């Protein structure tokens, strides 16, 4: 979208752009050499690489690379191409720092990067839609919250495509190869991170550039994405690098962004790293909803059995939903232990025995299970 088009579109939405803003240059968001300024949220170190002015993504595991900082009002340009037909990827805007519960994806607004696939509810021409709790009022919708493009302008793999994404006060516009085709309004959140998505197939991005536009009003917290808390992933989505099965085959098997476990196929695993004060995130679900196991036995911090501490919370059996994804956050600081289950406090300030440092353990499950989103952050 050219400057005049941008100003006209924003004016039509009742938004004002200060004179001269649009004449400012877009600046590189990717330096062409390495991933400085970007954070690998939940992928392997090999998933995202930078060379010769291109960000290359293998597509495995499913996950995201995000910016180090948040953006509110901005113009983003990027070129992309799938390296094989039927490829899938995306660009997220206004996204959280971490993945949603039980998902490899982040809450935010996705601009689809898809090749050669079409259905009643999606296209390969630049759909825009909110995911995992985000909101958007679509233009040219089909009864849901997905905004559909008004014309087909995407070139097939392996040709390059140009996206220009304009985000101002919760309104979003996508120009594909020089023409606006998809728009929406009333996004929530409307300040957050920008992400590139890995979703099963090799894809390249280049000429990723951004121009920030000034905010017109201060945003309430509800319209701002969840910020970076400095968590790092403990599982790379490909293999058990960084983990040890001490006495035999592991009970936990890599399955893209999840680990699957069975009571009969092995033993627990633990991190090679010894951890001290910090916070641990773990998502899980029982794959046989009729026969759930005891989630308090799934993990240990500093090598300590947490079941006695967690079992003192009478509510945990009600809040851990069989067959559905659950998220537990456990914190150890000094000799004290805290835990939350599905964002609700479970344990606060309970003494935790044992040494001040030790491994994180994943025990063999006592019922078929999946776990995901293993994150750790230090508190020191």
140 and 48 in a single domain? The answer is yes
Residue 15 has pLDDT above 50, yes or no: no
Reference 315, options 348, 344, 343, 285; nearest CA is: 344
> Which of 228, 259, 274 marks a domain boundary?
228
How much is the pLDDT for 319?
60
Backbone dihedral angles phi then psi of residue 22, each to the nearest 5 degrees: -70, -15
Domain count, the chain: 2
CATH of the domain at 112: 2.60.120.560
How much is the pLDDT for 254?
96
Specify the 3-state DSSP secondary structure of 195. strand
How much is the pLDDT for 2?
46
215 and 241 in a single domain? The answer is no
252 and 348 in a single domain? The answer is yes
* pLDDT tens profile 286-310: 998 888 888 889 999 988 888 888 8
269 and 302 in a single domain? The answer is yes
The C-alpha angle 128, 374, 66, rounded to 5 degrees, equals 35
* pLDDT tens profile 48-104: 999 899 999 999 999 999 999 999 999 999 999 999 999 999 999 999 999 999 999
Structural domain harbouring 37 = 3-228
> Which of 228, 259, 284 marks a domain boundary?
228
How much is the pLDDT for 10?
53
* pLDDT tens profile 244-259: 988 888 899 999 999 9
169 and 111 in a single domain? The answer is yes
> Which of 228, 256, 287 marks a domain boundary?
228
71 and 165 in a single domain? The answer is yes
How buried is 251 (Cβ within 10 angstroms: 0-12 exposed, 13-18 middle, 19+ buried)?
Answer: buried
What residues are paired with 57 via a beta bridge? 48, 203
171 and 103 in a single domain? The answer is yes
What residues are paired with 164 via a beta bridge? 77, 175
**What's the whole-number mean pLDDT along residues 323-349?**
92
Residue 6 has pLDDT above 90, yes or no: no
* pLDDT tens profile 136-160: 999 999 999 999 999 999 999 999 9
344 and 278 in a single domain? The answer is yes
83 and 196 in a single domain? The answer is yes
Specify the 3-state DSSP secondary structure of 295. helix
How much is the pLDDT for 304?
87
287 and 337 in a single domain? The answer is yes
57 and 103 in a single domain? The answer is yes
172 and 318 in a single domain? The answer is no
């Amino acid at each position: 979208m050219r400057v005049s088009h941008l100003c006209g579109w924003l004016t039509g939405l009742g938004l004002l752009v200060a004179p001269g803003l649009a004449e400012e240059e877009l600046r590189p968001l990717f330096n062409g050499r390495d991933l400085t300024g970007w954070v690998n949220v939940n992928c392997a170190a090999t998933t995202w690489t930078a060379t010769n002015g291109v960000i290359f993504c293998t597509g495995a595991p499913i996950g995201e690379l995000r910016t180090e900082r948040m953006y509110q009002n901005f113009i983003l340009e990027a070129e992309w191409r799938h390296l094989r037909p039927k490829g899938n990827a995306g660009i997220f805007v206004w996204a959280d720092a971490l993945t949603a519960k039980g998902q490899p994806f982040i809450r935010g607004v996705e601009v689809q990067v898809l090749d050669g696939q079409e259905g009643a509810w999606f296209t390969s021409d630049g759909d825009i839609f909110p995911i995992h709790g985000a909101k958007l009022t679509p233009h040219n919708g089909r009864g849901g919250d997905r905004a559909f493009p008004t014309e087909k302008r995407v070139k097939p793999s392996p040709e390059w495509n140009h996206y220009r994404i304009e985000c101002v006060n919760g309104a979003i516009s996508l120009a594909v190869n020089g023409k606006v085709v998809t728009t929406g309004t009333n996004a929530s959140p409307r300040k957050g991170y920008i992400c590139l998505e890995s979703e099963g197939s090799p894809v390249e991005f280049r000429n990723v550039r951004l121009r920030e536009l000034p905010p017109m009003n201060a945003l309430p917290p509800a319209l701002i994405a969840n910020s970076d808390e400095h968590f790092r992933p403990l599982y790379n989505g490909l293999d058990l690098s960084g983990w040890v099965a001490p006495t035999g085959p592991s009970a936990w098997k890599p399955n893209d962004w999840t680990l699957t476990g069975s009571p009969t196929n092995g033993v627990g695993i633990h991190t090679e790293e010894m951890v001290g004060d910090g916070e641990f995130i773990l998502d899980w679900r029982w794959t046989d909803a009729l026969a759930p196991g005891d989630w308090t036995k799934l993990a240990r911090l500093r090598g300590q059995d947490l079941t006695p501490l967690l079992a003192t919370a009478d509510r945990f059996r009600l809040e851990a939903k069989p067959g559905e994804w659950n998220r537990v956050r456990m914190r150890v600081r000094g000799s004290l232990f805290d835990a939350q289950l599905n964002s609700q406090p479970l344990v606060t300030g309970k003494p935790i025995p044992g040494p001040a440092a030790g491994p994180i353990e994943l025990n063999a499950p006592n019922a078929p299970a999946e776990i995901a989103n293993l994150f750790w952050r230090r508190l020191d």
